[in-house]
Amino acid sequence: MSASPAPWAGPLPLRGGRSLPGRLWLAALTNQQSPEGGHLSADERGFLLRRAAGGMPVITTCAAYVHPDGQAWPGQLGVASDSQGEALRPLATGLAEAGAAGLVQLFHGGGRADSALTGQPTWSLSSWSDKATSGVVEAAPADRLDRVIVDQAAAARRVEAAGLAGVELHGAHGYLLSQGLSRVYNTRDDAWGGDLAGRARLLRESLRAVRAATGPGFVVGVRLSPEDMGQARGLDLDESLQVAAWLAEDGADFIHLSLWDCKKPTQKRPESHPLPLFRAAVGPEVALIAAGDLWTVEDVAATFAHGADAVAVGRAAIGQADWAAKILGGAPVHRAPFSPAALAENGASETFVRYLSRFRGLVSA
């Protein structure tokens, strides 16, 4: 009797007849490889296509700002103009030739945008002092929140026109959409704040606008931080479960949970892993994607056993472009640190390697 195929082999069916060609995803990776102007560079395109050639069936770009005032770091990709959207076409063509699908992560930094790069005031739903930049984050008027919803819909149309499969709204890690959900960063008392329904309004209306602006075959999902971690603050697990349920109602094809460590239970409920909780919240039709400290076949298997429909990796795929092929074939994988030479051999530019060197334990001396 032949062995049953691994649950991470084969395509990922989605609601509404949509689908993606696999269940092993490249997560969005900040890399600072785009030139000034935010157009996808040959270096970044080459890095992404190497992962597709290495067996990764779903490739997510780095966070791409939807308006110039949302840029948060130098060398960031943008989808805020038609020319930036057109620059994605060669990536879409290359991914299709490799049998892979591409997603663009739609992003606005909000209070974490860098005014030194944008030349514009930094803003969010509420005002606060940003100790990291010694600046003040301004509270946005309601019409600016309306504008950023329109910006995301326009960016999604550009991604669709370029021939890519879909988008992921970045509602995690303390950037704008996550700031909206936060009881710390969003202290408004109007319709954009207050109770959870008000705090979730920006994210929900963004998703609805993107869904309405794109065709029936276009994939739309959301990345969430379920609880406080790092720059994601003011988040409660039960509120995140309700937000996920609302996003399912609003048409999300997938919810991507940024867990940091897929082996750990939730902070609020130490007896519970987050995946079964979110499955109960979103129902059977919405795919659950999990990311967080995944390296080996055993890590992947355990995460699928908890209920993931797909997994997304960042660090594991940086130093080995064929990580997905190794997982699918049951081959051993390498762990960080990776040498600069190994990173270069796997498609990382000098710019990307310099950026990666900031992170302890990722790049060897």
Q: What is the DSSP letter of 133?
A: T
* DSSP calls for 188-250: --STTSSSHHHHTHHHHHHHHHHHHHS-TT-EEEEEE--S-BTTB-S--HHHHHHHHHHHHHT
- Segments of the chain with pLDDT less than 70: 1-3, 130-134
Domain 12-356 class in CATH: alpha beta
Give which of 105, 207, 222 is closest to 159, Cα–Cα: 105
What's the CA angle centered on 212, arms 246 and 154, to 5 degrees?
110
Q: Give, in degrees to the nearest 5, the angle at Cα 259 between 251 and 272.
A: 90
Q: What is the pTM assigned to this prediction?
A: 0.97
Strand order across the beta sheet in which 123-124 lies: 123-124, 135-139, 128-130
In 3D, which of 14, 23, 58 has the Cα closest to residue 254?
14
Q: Which pLDDT score, from 0 to 100, does residue 133 have?
A: 52
Distances in Å between the Cα of 212 and the Cα atoms of 66, 141, 167, 250 are 17, 24, 13, 10
Residues 6+ apart with CB under 8 A from 219: 14, 18, 20, 101, 103, 165, 166, 167, 253, 254
Can you give the C-alpha Rg of the chain in angstroms? 19
Q: Tokens for 33, please give them.
A: 């490889």
Residue-level pLDDT at 365: 79
Strands 101-107 and 166-171: parallel
Q: In the chain, what are the domain boundaries?
A: 12-356
**pLDDT in the model for residue 1:** 45
Integer angstrom CA distances of residue 111 from 33, 67, 199, 338: 23, 14, 15, 33
